């Protein structure tokens, strides 16, 4: 039995490629108008709640300013990104990975238990007993899979000019097109923050073994599929 199911491994690497291209092309799009607003409208810097820095070419796709080409790259990756997330949720629910490994128990939310996990992480002790993940890992993966990634998809649809006329209720759900754009930005940088922490923790905890397991599946010491 594998530590990581084939569905998990395929989605993990596909999602990484999609996220990198989406993020870098998104930075190019941001350069076109680096101001964020709340509500339905926003035009001038005086109305913005945040002025986003201008990103250099080496951080963007393409590596020079081109709003049209950046949007083409963004849309190209948006569909495999969204369909891949749907596939992952179906797979997690079908093979029991969500209910078995990611769902938290009430006892795990007790302040003492949470603090214990925090302290162990600060000590770089990532052992978590018989469970596959500890509470902080479950919380992080839950936020990513249940909030950040779906949030990127739905806010992206809400700010898409081609989709908005077909589902104006989605724009209203986020409080206006500019609010959806701001949330899209926040979800993107939330994912970027998670990716940085994720990579750092992997590097601090048997990086070659963890990389190998995510490629080959590894051996499952918990005795079930994930």
Residue 147 DSSP label: I
Note whether 2 and 218 are within 8 A (CB). Answer: yes
Helix (H) or strand (E) holding 118: helix 111-122
| DSSP-assigned beta bridge partners for residue 35 | 51
Closest alpha carbon to 124 in 225, 55, 38, 200: 200
- Cis preceding linkage at 24, omega within 30: no
What mean pLDDT comes out for the span 6-33? Answer: 94
At residue 125, the pLDDT reads: 79
Confirm whether pTM is higher than 0.85: yes
Q: Kindly list the domain boundaries of the chain, sorted by start residue.
A: 6-216
Q: Which residues pair with 139 in a beta bridge?
A: none
Give, in order, the Cα–Cα distances in Å from 200 to each of 73, 133, 195, 210. 28, 17, 9, 12
**What average pLDDT does this structure show over 45-73?**
95
- Alpha-carbon span 196 to 23, nearest angstrom: 13
Q: Model confidence at 223, in pLDDT bands (50, 70, 90)?
A: very low
At residue 85, does pLDDT exceed 80?
yes
- Which helix H or strand E contains 192, and what residues bound it? helix 177-204
* CA 183/CA 192 separation, integer angstroms: 14
Average pLDDT, the chain: 89
Look at residue 222 and tell me whether its pLDDT is greater than 50.
Answer: no
Model confidence at 2, pLDDT cuts 50, 70, 90, reads low
Q: How confident is the model at residue 218 (pLDDT cuts 50, 70, 90)?
A: confident
Measured CA distances, 192 to 23, 114, 157, 196, 211 (Å) = 8, 24, 20, 6, 19
How far CA 133 is from CA of 27, 68, 129, 156, 190, in Å, comes to 33, 42, 9, 30, 21
Half-sphere exposure of residue 107: CA atoms within 13 angstroms, side-chain side: 1
User: Could you report the per-residue pLDDT of 154-193, keeping only the tens digit for each?
Assistant: 999 999 887 877 888 999 999 999 999 999 999 999 999 9
- Of the pLDDT bands very low, low, confident and very high (cuts 50, 70, 90), residue 221 is low
- List, in sequence order, every residue forming a beta bridge with 2; answer none if it has no partner: 219
What is the spatial distance between Cα 187 and Cα 150, in angstroms, rounded to a whole number? 9
Q: Which residue has the tokens 């002025």?
A: 51
Mean pLDDT of 206-224: 76
pLDDT at 204: 85
Q: Is the pLDDT of residue 226 over 60?
A: no
Any idea which fold 6-216 has? Fumarate Reductase Cytochrome B subunit (1.20.950)
User: Contact at 8 Å (CB) between 1 and 212?
Assistant: no
């Amino acid at each position: 039995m594998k530590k990581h199911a084939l569905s998990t491994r395929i989605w993990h690497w596909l999602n990484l490629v999609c996220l990198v291209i989406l993020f870098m092309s998104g930075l190019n799009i941001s350069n076109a108008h680096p101001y964020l607003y709340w509500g339905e409208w926003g035009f001038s810097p005086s109305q913005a709640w945040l002025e986003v820095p201008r990103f250099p070419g080496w951080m963007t796709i393409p590596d020079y300013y081109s709003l049209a080409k950046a949007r083409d790259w963004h849309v190209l990756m948006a569909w495999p990104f969204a369909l891949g997330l749907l596939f992952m949720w179906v797979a997690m629910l079908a093979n029991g990975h969500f209910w078995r490994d990611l769902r938290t128990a009430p006892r795990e939310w007790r302040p003492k238990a949470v603090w214990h996990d925090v302290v162990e992480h600060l000590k770089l002790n990532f052992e978590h007993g018989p469970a596959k993940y500890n509470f902080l890992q479950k919380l992080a993966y839950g936020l990513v899979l249940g909030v950040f990634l779906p949030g990127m998809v739905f806010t992206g649809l809400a700010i898409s000019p081609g989709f908005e006329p077909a589902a104006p209720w989605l724009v209203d759900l986020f409080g206006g097109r500019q609010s959806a754009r701001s949330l899209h930005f926040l979800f993107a940088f939330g994912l970027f923050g998670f990716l940085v922490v994720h990579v750092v923790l992997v590097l601090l905890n048997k990086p070659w073994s963890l990389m190998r397991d995510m490629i080959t599946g590894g051996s499952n010491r918990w005795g079930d599929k994930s």
